[in-house]
Amino acid sequence: MNWTAVYAIFRFEMNRFFRTFMQSFISPVISTSLYFVVFGAAIGSRIQEIEGVSYGAFIVPGLIMLSVITQAISNGSFGIYFPKFIGTIYELLSAPINFFEIVLGYVGAAALKALFIGVMILVTSTLFVDITIAHPVMMLVFLVLTCVSFSLLGFILGIWAKSFEQLQIVPLLVVTPLIFLGGSFYSISMLPPVWQTITLFNPVVYLISGFRWAFFGMADVPVGWSLLAIAVFTLGCLAVIGWIFKSGWRLRS
């Protein structure tokens, strides 16, 4: 394992992250505060509690997942796309470093950035509502797995994209709607039976449900299914990345 190369990639990506302090740190805090004002005041006044949990506290796991998923994809995709865009990807591919070390450097940095954002939003939420975490270890497990898995997805999208416009297509038109329809701000048990069944085909439901269970001990789907879903998703992304580097798809042309 070439740890020097991994650290060089990781450090470069983290330095870029801290150079954009306003965008990286302040923006998520402001966005989260606005969500609390809008959803907590407007909707929270009509929905006092959901299964014994105040609505303001209930939406915290969904808000964290919303930001973590989008930030993980954004950081993971831009990190590998930019070297493609300026042509330095070929220097990286010709260096004495294998694909696993490249992925570890880029995805590790992207996942850590998303983890920072998740922790920031959790801290910010305590300014608005009282939060008690029933299963802190499992909360951390779900959070880390989500950061890693969606950073891997972002890495795939960064290799796939041929332009900055394409880089935004999947996050905006696919991932974000899935998050909003995945129970971020409501429990799927509140939906009609037909829509509950349809919603179960949304993979994000399992992530948000498991993460919310770690906070309040309540879940829309069994926790085991949530862990299995994120494990399968992570392994699937790793398999796709392995095939990309083996075949050279979108890397050698």
State pLDDT tens for residues 228-252. 999 999 999 999 999 998 888 888 7
Listed residue (172, 166, 180, 249) closest to 208, CA to CA: 180
Read off the pLDDT of each residue in 31-45 and give the average, rounded to a whole number.
Answer: 72
Read off the pLDDT of each residue in 88-100 and give the average, rounded to a whole number.
Answer: 85
199 within some domain? yes
181 within some domain? yes
User: What are the contacts of 159-163 at 24+ separation with CB within 8 A?
Assistant: 159/80, 159/81, 159/84, 159/244, 159/249, 159/250, 159/251, 160/250, 161/77, 161/81, 162/250
For 165, other C-beta atoms within 10 Å of its C-beta total 8
The band of 40, judged by pLDDT with boundaries at 50, 70 and 90, is low
253 within some domain? no
pTM of structure: 0.92
Domain containing 44 equals 3-247
Read off the pLDDT of each residue in 22-47 and give the average, rounded to a whole number.
Answer: 73
Structure confidence at residue 177 (pLDDT): 93
The band of 45, judged by pLDDT with boundaries at 50, 70 and 90, is low
Assign residue 50 a region (left: φ > 0; alpha: ψ between -120 and 50; beta: otherwise): beta
252 within some domain? no
Q: Which of 33-37, 94-98, 210-214 has the lowest mean pLDDT?
A: 33-37
Listed residue (149, 179, 171) closest to 240, CA to CA: 149
Q: CA 198, 199, 201: angle at the middle one, nearest 5?
A: 75
151 contacts 144 by C-beta, under 8 angstroms: no
Q: CA 212, CA 53: separation in Å to the nearest integer?
A: 11
pLDDT digits (tens, 9 = 90+) for 140-182: 999 999 999 999 999 999 999 999 889 999 999 999 999 999 9
pLDDT digits (tens, 9 = 90+) for 180-234: 999 888 889 888 999 999 999 999 999 999 999 999 999 999 999 999 999 999 9
Report which of residues 107 and 22 the model is more confident about.
107
Structure confidence at residue 94 (pLDDT): 84
Read off the pLDDT of each residue in 23-33 and give the average, rounded to a whole number.
Answer: 76
204 within some domain? yes
Q: CA 199, 213, 49: angle at the middle one, nearest 5?
A: 80
Specify the number of domains making up the chain: 1
Structure confidence at residue 28 (pLDDT): 76
Q: CA 72, 76, 77: angle at the middle one, nearest 5?
A: 120
141 within some domain? yes
Q: Which of 13-17, 108-112, 178-182 has the lowest mean pLDDT?
A: 13-17
Average pLDDT, the chain: 89
20 within some domain? yes
176 within some domain? yes
55 contacts 49 by C-beta, under 8 angstroms: yes
Say whether pLDDT at 63 is over 80: yes
